[in-house]
Structure 1
Amino acid sequence: MNRFFRGALLSLLAWAVCGCTYVPINRNPHADDPLAPVAVDLPRYMGRWFVIANVPMVDERDYVASCAVWTLRDDGRIEDAVMGRKHGFNQPETGTVFIAKPEQGPRNSVWRVRPIWPFEFIVMTVYVDPDYEYTVRATPDKDFVWILARRPEMSVAVYQSLLERLDLMGFDTSRFNKVVQFPEQIGQPGFHDVR
């Protein structure tokens, strides 16, 4: 398992065991409002999604060309592959495959991910557009969130509309940074620093 995913896993374990992961105070007036998952058509939702922006877990900031690849298994669970290139585009794509279990019911958008038994965390879909071109996934506590798209770019108008939607849901949108998907984005304002 590479350092990116080992770091993310260790962060999740510390968070689960200690409950003491530092997260800045969310000053959004809707911060305490519970998140409502939206329904998703699982077969349509599967495939490659590029991470456009996020409030990342631990070591995600050091990755470029980050994406998630979801594959529906015959047993109803989902292969959740997290991929990226550490420190630059000249590095190989690496990743880890987690197994996610969608909660029972018609929504299919709340997934229980178990990186190592007995620990698990919940990630839910809080938005998907009607054409399944953009989606937002988040943890119920709003500490971690990912804006994803089918293509590695997103228009400024769509990105701003998603931030406005997330602000109304109670997310601290000042914590979002864009993920570098193209070499010319390295070092640009609003993007994660790539080290």
Structure 2
Amino acid sequence: MRRIVHVAAVAAAATAAAMLLLSITGCSNDPPNPNPRANQPLSTVPVDLPRYMGRWYIIANIPYFAERDMLGSRAEWKLRADGKIDDSYYARKKSFDAAEKHYQFLDTPVPGKDGGEWSVQLFWPVHVTQLTLYVDPDYRYTILGYPDKSLGWIFAREPDISDDMYRSLLARLDAMGYDTSRFRRVPQRPDQVGKAGFSSPGDKD
């Protein structure tokens, strides 16, 4: 009986993981991508991993369920002795007065990709692919994406960036074939909540 229960639990966990993975990739519910370069494959850029580590603020993303209602979000990456990366995500849900949430992941740079492609372990055994599509020479801004362009992120070392810089990073995403109309800025200050172009608590994906 114990073995049957164990097998059933494993099967249920695998099913739940598969459903979560489908939800994360968003492959079935995404609107058609109108960008004429939509079918252009994404290419990663070489990354100096030690220089890439540290704190990055999430300036904008394509909204999806896992980051819905999150405010003031940021990632902190730490390179381990074994070459893997401790990936910490911090954010406040719905309100800047809410307690800060923390989620921990483990990333593995894919061999032969010059640090530009990571396998991200959300939890065992679920892994997803994260691509570094752009990093500026000073390592102040970076763009991350998924192979099917269903998800994308703009990160910066500071919580605020100029509108001109934001537009220039969106232009890079457009050139890569992304539907940039789907991107929303992530509020990093209370006064940004509800402003045009920013995500707000309660928004749908």
Q: What TM-score do the two structures reach when normalised by structure 1?
A: 0.89
| Matches for 1:1-195 after TM superposition, within 5 Å | 13-15=20-22, 21-105=28-112, 107-195=114-202
Q: How far 1:14 moved relative to its partner?
A: 4.4
Deviations 1:84-104 (A, max 9, x none): 001111111112110000011
Q: Percent identity?
A: 47
Map of 2:9 onto structure 1: none
Deviations 1:26-80 (A, max 9, x none): 1101111100000110000001100001003314130110011111011100011
* Number of residue-to-residue matches in the alignment: 187
Q: Distance in 2 between matches of 1:164 and 1:155?
A: 14
Alignment check: 8 A CA contact 2:110 2:119 kept: yes
Alignment check: 8 A CA contact 2:141 2:155 kept: yes
Larger Rg: 2
Amino acid at match of 1:167: D
Deviations 1:123-174 (A, max 9, x none): 0100000000000011111110010000000111111111111101000000
Q: How far 1:19 moved relative to its partner?
A: 7.5
Q: Distance in 2 between matches of 1:62 and 1:190?
A: 15
Q: Distance in 1 between matches of 2:27 and 2:113?
A: 34
Amino acid at match of 2:112: G
Q: Distance in 2 between matches of 1:14 and 1:27?
A: 25
Alignment check: 8 A CA contact 1:56 1:146 kept: no
5+ residue gaps in structure 1? 1-8
Alignment check: 8 A CA contact 1:11 1:21 kept: no
Amino acid at match of 1:177: R
SS of the residue aligned with 1:112? strand
SS of the residue aligned with 2:68? helix
Q: Distance in 1 between matches of 2:25 and 2:70?
A: 27
SS of the residue aligned with 1:137? strand
Q: How far 1:11 moved relative to its partner?
A: 8.7
Point out the more displaced range, 161-170 or 59-68.
Answer: 59-68
Amino acid at match of 2:78: T
Q: Distance in 2 between matches of 1:177 and 1:120?
A: 25
Q: Distance in 1 between matches of 2:96 and 2:35?
A: 36
Alignment check: 8 A CA contact 1:11 1:58 kept: no
Could you list the runs of 4 or more consecutive aligned residues of structure 1 that deviate by over 2 angstroms after TM superposition?
Answer: 9-14, 16-21, 116-119
5+ residue gaps in structure 2? 1-15
Instruction: State the Cα RMSD in Å.
Output: 2.1
